[in-house]
A and B are shown apart, each in its own frame.
Chain A
Amino acid sequence: MTAKEFAGQREGLARAHRLRAGLARAGLYVFLALGAGVMLFPFFWMFSSAFKTAQEVATFPPRWLPASLSLRNFAIAFEKAPFAVYFFNSVVITTASVVGTGLVTILASFAFSRLKFKGRDLVFTLLLALMMIPFEMLVITNYETIAAWKLIDTRTALVLPFLGSIFYTYILRNFFISIPDGLYWSARVDGASNWKYLWKVMVPIAKPALTTIILLNAIASWNSFMWPMLVINSTPRRTLPLGLYTFMTEGGMHFELLMAASTVVVLPIIVLFLFARKQIVGGVARGGLKG
């Protein structure tokens, strides 16, 4: 074998190797794209149908794309049901829940990580055991409590039961614990109170964990269906998912309108997800989902 032949053979082998790697990568992309298509399809169908006419929605085989892009369905849906009110309610309740639960969680996490008191870790362990109890088991009693407090059909009823979240406190407390002690004692020596230390030092450091909690909580509040369905019974108090559901049961099966309304429910969260995917996914991977 001459040197030239040898080099040629080597190059042939390398080419075959590259080809195989290339094919494997192409196969990977094809498979991933197929799966992604299946996962995204319901959203594609929702968005595309939101622009179809009533006729286009009721044909077989179905039309995959609308003939024209008109916002007519959105206008009709907003006219037939007060989706603007629902949207406003959802924004208010999500904000109140994020702020309220956030504050309660920050204070509790601080006590469970930085302050010292008898039985602290025992109490915390017992709380973790409570986390295993599904919300479905608590729902009957919580409904009774809300009814006894005359809070049925109020926005307060949608925020109050979720203020004390063991799960979020668990996440934040674990983050707080990882903040070195030295920081605390040097701040105390400089005359900072616990309160000041919490807000000036710990909270800014814990921004990643706080972001996670805020995002997960915002998603959970925005999408919440079961609890609002139980405690809300008048139209002006409905949140978006509940309003969407009653729009279907009361307004009939007009899929072009239902898909337009669904788009309104889904879009804000999708935008949030596109911007904060890493934090949301990281939070889910660390602690699972609430509920």
Chain B
Amino acid sequence: MAVSILHRATGIALSFAGLGVLTWWLWAIAGGTDSYATFAKVMTSPVGLVVLVGLTWSFFQHLLSGIRHLVMDTGAAFELGINKTFAILTIVGSAILTVLVWVYFLGVVK
């Protein structure tokens, strides 16, 4: 099932790229304004933004499919119709949330 594979792929992306960026971000903040400027420069470059948007999407996709897995761990939502609807909702939900977050970021934070 596609959403199950997405859960694993986004989990691995968050584990390496996500925690890597988080650690570098904290390290850069702790280092002062100059080191933070370097971080901000890289992350607001086209490649940096693709990474950040990708991580935002990975976060929401993993969060929503994670909730789906928790529900399925209880033995619920295995019926074909419900299962498929739930899976599609995670994909639609993560896309909407990613767009909302970035519209807000790009609109409010310059």
Instruction: Please say whether chains A and B are actual partners in one complex.
Output: no
What residues make up the interface of A, taking CB atoms closer than 8 Å to B?
A: none
Interface residues of B (CB under 8 A from A): none
